[in-house]
Amino acid sequence: MSGDKDLIYLHHILECIEVVEGYTAKGKDDFFNNTLVQDGVLRRLQIMAESTQRLSDRLKAQAPNVDWRALSGFRNILVHDYLGGISLSRVWDAVENNLPILKQEVQLMLNDFGKGEV
């Protein structure tokens, strides 16, 4: 049963990443100057990070390149520290540098599911 849930969460994480990629396709300046884009990105990152917390520990262990603990902490900041604790520069850095790594790892995990290796 855990594998079924993992598969659902992996697809959801990938979907969130792809939506964020779409929101930020116009680049850094658009992100910093468009509060609607900021709101959409923050919300998608929040729910994406929530889904990463629901993945099984066994599955997470298969992706050591992902800092799962940092993702959890990032989610907590997005959810609980919204009155001044969110640095848009840090969010952009995460979108630009961390999301591609997470996307690649999630895609690899999904490929392993297709091969029955997870």
Question: Out of 43, 69, 75, 90, which one is annotated catalytic?
Answer: 75
* 12 noted as active-site residue: no
- 17 vs 2, 51, 79, CA distance in Å? 22, 12, 18
| CB-CB contact of 107 with 14 (8 Å) | yes
- Known catalytic residue: 75? yes
Q: Are 118 and 62 in contact (CB under 8 A)?
A: yes
Which amino acid is residue 66, in one-letter code?
Answer: V
Catalytic residue among 12, 44, 80, 90: 80
The residues annotated with a catalytic role in the active site are 75, 80
